[in-house]
Amino acid sequence: MMLKEIQENMEKLNDWALEGNIIVKDCTFKDFKEALEFINKVGEIAEKHTHQPDIMISYNRVKLSLTTHSEGGLTQKDFDVALEIDSLSK
């Protein structure tokens, strides 16, 4: 994916950051239970797209990372999954 395409896709996302060839999002929730509920919803999105993010959880904080390992960087699939994850907070 070209840098211009990445920048255009980044503009459509909510609170995601570009870190090299990965996009990341940090989320904070009221408590651990709420964080787990979010992760379960992310899991449903990931399975639907057959494209799973790396997920790290620490009590009420969740960090999501998306990249397409098989392509060695970002693809449209990463941005499609990120957009759908963003829709969870609307």
Domains, the chain, in order of start with CATH, read: 15-89 (3.30.1360.20)
Asked if 62 contacts 26 with a C-beta cutoff of 8 angstroms, the reply is yes
Alpha helices, DSSP H, located in 12-75: 32-49
Alpha helices, DSSP H, located in 1-90: 3-11, 32-49, 76-86
User: Would the pLDDT of 14 be above 80?
Assistant: yes
Q: Is 66 exposed, middle or buried (0-12, 13-18, 19+ CB in 10 A)?
A: buried
> What's the pLDDT score for residue 89?
77
> 29-79, pLDDT tens digit by residue?
999 999 999 999 999 999 999 999 999 999 999 999 999 988 989 999 999
* Total-model pTM: 0.92
Tell me the mean pLDDT in the region 5-22. Answer: 96
Secondary structure of residue 6 in the 3-state scheme: helix
CA–CA separation, 33 and 15 (whole Å): 22
